[in-house]
Amino acid sequence: MKKQLVLSSLAIILSSGLTQNVLAQDVEVLHWWTSGSEAAALNVLKDDLKSKGYGWQDMPVAGGGGESAMTTLKARVTGGNPPTAAQLLGVAVQDWANEGSLGDLSSVAKADGWDAVVPDAVKDFAINDGKWVAVPVNIHRPNWLWVNATIFKENGLTPPTTWEEFNTVSNTLKAKGITPLAHGGQPWQDLTIFDDVVLGVGGPDFYRKAIHELDMDALGSDTMVKVFDQMRIIRGFVDKDFSGRDWNLATAMLINGKAAMQLMGDWAKGEMTHANVTPGKDILCLPAPSTAGSFLFISDFFAGFDVGANDRDAQGALASSVLSKKFQEEFNLVKGSIPARTDISRTRFDACAQKSMDDLAEAQEKGTLIGSLAHGTAQGASVQSAISDVVTYHFNSDIGSKEAVDILVNAIQDAML
């Protein structure tokens, strides 16, 4: 009896030792993709790495915008034990690279020919000081207007393409007792609308000047006053319980016909497919009013941290897998975004994703592919939050547009100190 016990425990110890030896190395990946569909999408990557002989050590940190994930990451890096790779948004990649925490993926980039397939605007975030430090996973477009087709058909309305049309249509809807805009009053959602309005009212050059370059003249200009005027008008089109609502509940209102439109990124498609409605047919997708021709984008990146020589191969394999055609297609089909490389077959994607790809190509050509402020692809956290504070304060109070612009200019000056 005793002998058996010893033998069997020995067997267990040995076999567990063996399974660890089969996989040469593990990659440890810190991310905040914890929802069902996102986790499923990551499985594609896991399997691909397994076939190359690398194990996957998951390090998910729950929390939508990745705030807690960033706190964990800071603790790991300052403790001298960075993960092999971590999910980061645009500017954060550059921030980490400037702290000297990121490694070099250039050899993989060269071998796989990343230069030719990744759009320039995305590359700007992935390359620091001439070195590839991160791989883009996807491209999301936040400047979408989602329209409930049934409501518009029944009321004989045409989906709006400019802010004037948007205001007219919304007033008509409001007069009929329909909530025109589904919205959740969380600061980042207010900022998502603000993005659309700045781009729509001011145009791409103004957006770059004011938001990317933080040009004080542009920030304090009359155009910015008009932007806040439009924000105030939009405030009149949301229902009274909007504050604190999650974005997916707002999308549910749109799907159920409790509201007619929503200004939200293409991750909203996930909710639609989940509710068995077809994006592009039941829920129409249009560029946000007055922003046709421009493409605001967000990319998720996996940044390669400066790991020891032992883990460098695993890190390279991970990076290579992430930007492989297979993963880009499979992952983005599930995630609702479009691939971060431009040479993926589009047949399996839905109508809205295909439109997104067309618009991306057009924007890339015209130079109107612009990083989005609301999602960390235009400014670092401090400036982004400074603008967000003002936008959300204006949206939730009765201050005038001129006053909002003054506060905005002051807040930016403070944040840049």
Partner 1 sequence: MKNRNHIGVLDRLQFQLPKIVLSPSVAIIVIFVYGFILYTSYLSFTGSKMLPNFNWVGLQNYITLFRSRTWDTSVTNLAIFSVLYIGICCFIGLMLAILLDQKIRNEGFIRITYLYPMALSFIVTGVAWKWILDPGIGLEAVLQGWGWESFSFRWIKERDMAIYTIVIAAVWQTSGFVMATFLAGLRGIDNEMLRAAQLDGASTFAYYRRIVIPQLRPAFMSAFVVLAHMAIKSYDLVIALTGGGPGNATSMPATFMYSYTFTRNQMGIGAASAVMMLMTVAAIIVPYLWSELREKK
Q: List residues near partner 1 by CB under 8 A.
A: 67, 70-71, 74, 77-78, 95-96, 99, 185-187, 240-241, 243-244, 380-382, 385, 389, 392-393, 395-397, 407, 410-411, 414-415, 417
Cα distance between residue 58 and residue 377, in whole Å = 25
- Strand segments, DSSP code E, in 96-222 are 127-128, 131-132, 134-136, 144-148, 179-182
Which CB, 352 or 405, lies closer to partner 1?
A: 405
**Which residues, 6 or more positions from 203, have their beta carbon under 8 angstroms from its beta carbon?**
294
Which CB, 190 or 300, lies closer to partner 1?
A: 190
Minimum distance from residue 71 beta carbon to partner 1 (Å) = 5
Cα distance between residue 26 and residue 114, in whole Å = 24
Minimum distance from residue 405 beta carbon to partner 1 (Å) = 14
Cα distance between residue 412 and residue 417, in whole Å = 9
Minimum distance from residue 374 beta carbon to partner 1 (Å) = 15
Which CB, 56 or 305, lies closer to partner 1?
A: 305
Minimum distance from residue 248 beta carbon to partner 1 (Å) = 15
Residues 118/252, Cβ–Cβ less than 8 Å = no
Minimum distance from residue 238 beta carbon to partner 1 (Å) = 12
Which CB, 233 or 407, lies closer to partner 1?
A: 407
Which CB, 187 or 220, lies closer to partner 1?
A: 187
Minimum distance from residue 51 beta carbon to partner 1 (Å) = 36
Neighbours of 36 (CB within 10 A): 10
Tokens 């089909």 found at = 333
Which CB, 67 or 129, lies closer to partner 1?
A: 67
Residues 85/304, Cβ–Cβ less than 8 Å = yes
Residues 112/325, Cβ–Cβ less than 8 Å = no
